[in-house]
Amino acid sequence: MSEKCRHVAEFRRSFEKDVEKLDREIRDRVSEKIDQILKGHIGELLKGKFRDYKKVRIGKYRLIYSDKEKCKIVLVKLSHRETVYDELDRLLN
């Protein structure tokens, strides 16, 4: 059986920079989604070379995170849906 634990969020600097660029309304929606992630691991598993990550849709934006570490959610990238995967590729390589 899996052990329950309280998840904490770790914000990569790339994620923090992405959030700083957004207007207040989108930042509020991002905050709500982070709360949901921490409570229930919402999100879709990505495929291919990003298979260790999950995405959450926030309007035209995609929040990319990892939940591979026990009790920790690592928020990696937040960007427009058209560019987020190219930006994630550059960030990880």
pLDDT tens digit string along 40-90? 768 999 999 999 999 999 999 999 999 988 889 999 999 999 999 999 999
Q: How remote is the C-alpha of 66 from its chain's centroid?
A: 7
pLDDT tens, 5-34?
A: 788 999 999 999 999 999 999 999 999 999
The closest alpha carbon to 7, from 48, 84, 65, 49, belongs to: 65
- According to CATH, the superfamily of the domain at 8-92 is RelE-like (3.30.2310.20)
Q: What is the largest CA-CA distance in the chain?
A: 42
pLDDT score of 1 = 36
- What type of residue sits at position 90? R
pLDDT score of 74 = 96
